């Protein structure tokens, strides 16, 4: 990697017995900027570690290069499980995570996005803290924001649609169409997939 950023994230939670301070670790691996600013998601999950983030950042280089867009590869995250946590706790974690990250990102330097455990809510909390720390809004610093803050429409569904389109192309490439009746060869997904068995592994956004 060109740079590995590792920082302590301390955030408070408030319960019936008072306030409690928690400490965890945040990461951002800026792997390669040969094509443009670093680009890659932020992951909030208990399994996050420096080695995992490095591997994902390396993989992101090639995923981004295949888009033919001028963006490099990077990845980041935090050792944290947002499942079952209150909105206020997640907001505290996001804000304090951004305090350790904001100096190292920007539209022409590094543009993080969401990943496992980081959706529109978390991106919104982080963007709000980024604006507060920088003293001015900057729409290009994070992707995955709501449309109110310059985000893209249909972004949550984009990954699912991409899977559908690439599967259609794979069916064409491997000549599956020859087994279909003529009226089902129009390239419409519901026609082409009808009657096929599909194995799905993992989780994420769907179309």
Task: Indicate which residue of 39, 75, 99, 145 is catalytic.
Answer: 75
* Secondary structure (DSSP) of 153-174: TTHHHHHHHHHHHHHHHHHHHT
Q: Which residues of 69-107 are buried (b: 16+ CB within 10 A; e: fewer)?
A: eebbbbbbbbbbebeeeeeebbbbbbbbbbbbbbebbee
Residue from 142, 90, 82 nearest 113 by CA:
142
What residues contact 59, with CB distance under 8 A and at least 6 apart? Answer: 73
Between CA 33 and CA 73 the distance in angstroms is: 7
Between CA 151 and CA 142 the distance in angstroms is: 9
194 belongs to the catalytic site: no
Residues recognised as catalytic: 75
């Amino acid at each position: 990697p060109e740079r590995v950023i590792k920082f302590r994230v301390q955030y408070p939670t408030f319960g019936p017995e008072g306030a409690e301070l928690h400490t965890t670790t945040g990461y951002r691996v800026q792997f390669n900027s040969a094509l443009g600013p670093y680009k890659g998601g932020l992951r909030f999950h208990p399994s996050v570690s420096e080695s995992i983030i490095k591997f994902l950042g390396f993989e992101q280089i090639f995923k981004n290069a295949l888009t033919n867009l001028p963006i490099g590869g990077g990845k980041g995250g935090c050792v944290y499980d947002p499942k079952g946590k209150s909105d206020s706790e997640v907001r505290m974690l996001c804000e304090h995570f951004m305090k350790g990250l904001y100096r190292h990102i920007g539209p022409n330097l590094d543009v993080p996005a969401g990943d496992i455990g980081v959706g529109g809510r978390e991106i919104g909390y982080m963007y709000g803290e980024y604006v507060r720390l920088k003293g001015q809004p900057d729409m290009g610093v994070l992707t995955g924001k709501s449309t109110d803050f310059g985000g893209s429409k249909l972004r949550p569904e984009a990954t699912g649609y991409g899977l559908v389109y690439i599967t259609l192309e794979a069916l064409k490439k491997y000549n599956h169409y020859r087994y279909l009746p003529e009226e089902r060869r129009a390239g419409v997904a519901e026609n082409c997939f009808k009657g096929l068995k599909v194995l799905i592994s993992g989780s994420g956004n769907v179309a």
